Amino acid sequence: MGTNTLRTPRMRPGNAGAPSVPLRPRAFVIYRRRPWSKNISIELEFRWSQPQFLNGIIKSFNLSYTINASSSAQHVNLVGGSKTTYGIFSAHPHSIYTFKVHACTQGHCGQSTEPVSISTSGIIEIRLYFTL
């Protein structure tokens, strides 16, 4: 006969209610080109993992990013706490995007990740040749 166990969020003593920093922040750039077009679209994807210590239920992740350090930060609130990815589907070419994210519980927000930067300057040309 099995026993039922109740899972509780990972808790850290002190700083009650504030989650720790989200883990493994990373960014990817994707270049897309339709076979019939010369235009290249640039997409970015920023990902992270849940914090080590949740200290409650994650209600949201708050993300901020800048384009070419001189711009003002864009802020995004990802409600729900389970989404750990954010995409930009029309990124600017020859730009540097810098991302950071922090987690929030009901009443407390944790610290942000270290900034993660990615450049949209390095387009790699891939040619496909078909033979009949």
The predicted-structure confidence for 10-20, as pLDDT tens digits, reads as follows: 555 545 679 99
pLDDT digits (tens, 9 = 90+) for 68-105: 987 788 898 887 888 999 999 999 999 999 999 999 99
Structure tokens at 66: 């800048």
Instruction: Answer whether 85's CB lies under 8 Å from 45's CB.
Output: yes
- Which residue would you say has higher pLDDT here, 1 or 28? 28
Domain spanning 23-119: CATH 2.60.40.10: yes
pLDDT tens-digit readout, 104-132? 998 899 999 999 999 998 755 555 555 55
51-61: average pLDDT: 93
**Rounded to two decimals, what is the model's pTM?**
0.78
How does the average pLDDT of the chain come out, rounded?
Answer: 84
**What local confidence, expressed as pLDDT, does residue 5 receive?**
39
pLDDT value of position 16 = 61
Burial class (CB in 10 A: 0-12, 13-18, 19+), 108: middle
